[in-house]
Structure 1
Amino acid sequence: MSLRARLGVQRGHFTVDVDLTVEPGHTLAILGPNGAGKTTILHALAGLAHLDGGHITVDETTWATPETDLPPEKRSVGLLAADHLLFPHLSALDNVAFGPRSRGTRADTAYDIARRELARLGLADTFHARRPHQLSHGQAQRVALARALATHPRVLLLDEPLSALDPESRPTVRQALAARLADFDGMTVLVTHDPLDALTLADELTFVRDGRVVQSGPPQQIVREPRDPYVAQVAGLNLYAAGPAREGTLHLASGAAIVTADPVISRENWVSFPPSAVVLGRHRPDGSARNTWRGRVARVELTGQIARVSLTGEVDLVADITLGSLAELHLAAGDEVWASVKATEVRAYPR
């Protein structure tokens, strides 16, 4: 019993062609840049986009093929989007009970289900009578999640569910969502731009670009070994395609060399290292680092107490340095600097 889908959807000149599998009790997070096809995937699963090829099968029941298309109301689906879309004239309790009641559940049973779902998401009885405009955005989003779950769907679809929340409420709602998903025995598909949402909520990650899957697997594997530039950006790593290694030295397409301490036997390799492993200086370093390149500062961005410095040159890279180091180096866009990375910080793995 699982969700198995081969989704072929044609939208003008854009084609989505992906394979997805989600096991019961598991959450699959789909990530990708804008225009990658993430929303089309979600719409196809929900029955809002027709399949031009492939199939959708849930618990061995076919939901869709190019010839057959189960309408959305006949699919056991719960949907939560960034905007909670609660009925403004109904209370929180009535909003959650609406789904079961619309499917023929007795009123007393529907309200029991609604109270239980709201309680599991940390919303006490004092919130039940409030209408959406009387709730904070985080509270309203939890009510919307309770409404999506109240019909006991086999497939829960989450479309950027935390993106519209403010920074203060987002961790609370994320925690409540994670706790509820841990008890959910259906299949969950989460579309998100936020790596933290994906890493904290999902059992599997699938990255899509231009309508195709570029990498899929458990979060820890993907974070350790990204195989696509966008995936590496999300994982926070510098990533390069390289040829065969000769005595620990790999050559990039640009001709630059990178030394690694990893044993490399493949002819085609990926090479990666974290921005925190990069040391910047105004002069060529004399230390033990075997990787040393000259570059020019393209931009400097601040995130808390960290400055992210993007360099172009022999090897385009990103370095994370402290604000103290930034002030000491007096770095600005256009400055020339030296970057160094120890060989022990460089990972190499087959392409």
Structure 2
Amino acid sequence: MATDDTYFENGREYYKATDNPVWPGRNREHPSAKPGCREHQGPLIETALVKHLLARLDDLEIGSRPSGGEVTAAGKDREAFEALSIAGRLVRCVAGWAINHQIGLGSENLKFVPLQPSGTRSHPQYLQERSIVDSHVHEKAGATFHPMNDGSAEAARKCLVNLVRANPGAMPTWLQVRTIQGLEALDYGEVQPMFAPLATGRKRDLTVLRLQLEALGMVAFRQTLGSLKKDAVAEVAGVLNVGANTLLSWETRLRSEFGRLEVDRTISFAQNHASWIKEARKRRLQGEEYDFDAEDIRRHETDYGDEALIQLGAKYKAALAS
């Protein structure tokens, strides 16, 4: 079976190999729908999710108005963050297809081709570039483009530029312009001040420090499940190819680097996931009726189980070698 073979179900197209939708950013793609056809669904504004998102945005705006003084100031930071997150969901809901198109262009080192003034509308280069970008293949490619390694960093940067140029979202114009200019300058070997690293004198870079923080979560997860701390430390340290005492020293260093809250938060999340698994297993052994299944357990151990630990070890060794 070819990886791009597809099938149709209830009017939507799916890949046979994965059952993933071919056009995930579309709400109305239907093989019998002609261009401009609206007979299969009503306007986007009438869909339940869009209504819900707009209503929640309205509630957040009302509940955070400065005219409310201290009453509406309470919780405003969380509400502002939620509002922007919801706005992002709304864009993905109503224009996910356009996002996929821009991602597809970026993955192929292409970008938006703007309209031209009268003097260059018939320019051969313009006509050629337009013929390349005006295609459904880019939307299709963007829906499945998920770069996960450093070798695709340039393509990921192109995708980011394409999206920021078309939809800066929360960015004011000055930040949009500086971001695009800074990202594009990297293609010419220029590092503008906005993207220049700070001279901190640290022994480890942020990537390594974050992986060390993940390791602390791995230890906390195993300890909460019942392992002795020394055994949990030995297991995680062994996979990362570091000494147990070295791993133990990371907690103090990371509290200094990231602050106590970030370290305690990471450990607490790991403990919560492990506690859920421990309680579920306990109830199952006791024969109690409990609303969970194997998929629930897998979801809670996804970031902390043996497979996740092996992946962390590989990332850590690669980060040290780079």
Asked whether the two chains share a fold, i.e. TM above 0.5, the reply is no
TM superposition score normalised by structure 2? 0.25
Q: Which has the higher contact order (CA 8 A, sep 6+)?
A: 1
Task: Please give the TM-score of this superposition, normalised by the length of structure 1.
Answer: 0.24
**Bigger helix fraction:** 2
